[in-house]
Amino acid sequence: MDGIQKRKKNRCKYIWIAFGLLAVILLTLVLAVGIGAMQIGFGESLRILWLKLTGNALGDVKANAIAVVWEIRLPRVLCGFFVGMGLAVAGAVFQSLLGNPLADPYTLGVSTGAAFGATLAILLNILFALSLSTSTFAFSFAFLTLIIVLFIAKRSGGYTTNSLIIAGIIIGAIMSAGISFIKMTAGEDVSAIVFWIMGSLVSRQWSDVLLVMPVVLIAATIAYAFANDLNIMTLGDDVAQSLGVNTERIRLLYLITGSCLTAACVSVSGVIGFVGLIVPHLLRMWLTADNRVLIPLAGLLGGLLLMLADNATRLLSSGEIPVGVLTTLLGGPFFLFVFSKQPRRQL
């Protein structure tokens, strides 16, 4: 079989993988909303979800089962899925855009900006007994960070990989110092901040789903639609331009798309590590570097993995380890293992 026939066959394979992932995701979702301190059967969960979605009356189902499934577990599970999806897509985007397989959604400092915003909101809430929304603060500061990073990069020689990364690191460092300062100011109430930063999906509500879901879906669609331009960008600016790609515009589009994804994810979940680095990286190693395949598959796999990881933390530990700790704790060694199995791969 020659390369071209194999390519055609692989295209079909990728579609089947996508459907397979989708099936596993739906199955996991229904299982996840049933399992926990209050056990609800698979059929029962499915029925509650179905009746709720179709807007039918839930006459004979127990009210507390409905509340647990629909108001408590489902928002958390969905948040996990969309955050995982957003981080993995953002990771794929930043790796290609910066031409570095070790880039991740947090490389440009957007996440540190979000964490600073959230920290500030928590502090103000403590000091003045307010009830500011941490996610809104996080999202706004993530955006502010992006604008500052873009501004600095632009002034120091355009949106090149190096100037973007350097600007990201500097702003990230400043924001980090800000976070430390706020932690110090918070005194005894520091644990709320520490927990937020570690990344967790505990007690997320529908309002969080409504923040993260639309952003992730829209941004992922945009990322997918321009994926071939992103492929061409990996050839370098001059070649990309001579292939008819408007590199300035595509770079800006992807910087904003990737940062929106990161900002939305970090705002609802805190800083969850490794999903955005590993998922696109592994898929690229196993399947292909083609972003038209990588972006949708990374989105699905990232969503599934975070959903599973969050349920593992929920079920395995009574005290609830933050899921961000678990993903890094398990993801890191796994990544090392896979990486050492691939001796000839270049970083």
Partner 1 sequence: MSKKVLPMRLSAQHIDFYYGSRHILTDISIKVCAGEYLSLIGPNGSGKSTLFQILCGLKNPKKGTVFYDDEAVQKMSARHRAQCIAIVQQNAKQAMPFTCLESIILGLHPHQGRFDTISDAQYGRVRQLMELTDTWRLSEHPVTQLSGGERQRVALCRALVQEPKVLLLDEAMSELDIAARMQMSGLLKTLCADTGLTVMAIHHDLNLAYRFSDKIYALKDGRCAGFGAPEEVMTEELFRHVFSVKAEIFTNKGFFIQNTL
Binding site for partner 1 (CB under 8 A): 2-4, 6-7, 95-96, 99-101, 225, 228, 231-232, 234-236, 238-239, 241-246, 284-285, 288-290, 344-346
CB of 89 to partner 1, least distance (A): 16
CB of 246 to partner 1, least distance (A): 5
The whole-angstrom separation of Cα 141 and Cα 130 is 19
CB of 184 to partner 1, least distance (A): 41
CB of 103 to partner 1, least distance (A): 10
The whole-angstrom separation of Cα 334 and Cα 95 is 19
Residue number, 290 or 320, with CB nearest to partner 1: 290
Residue number, 225 or 336, with CB nearest to partner 1: 225
Residue number, 11 or 62, with CB nearest to partner 1: 11
Residue reference for tokens 């960008």:
233
Residue number, 95 or 112, with CB nearest to partner 1: 95
Residue number, 76 or 281, with CB nearest to partner 1: 281
CB of 304 to partner 1, least distance (A): 24
Tokens read off for 85: 């999806």
What is the maximal distance between C-alpha atoms in the chain?
Answer: 70
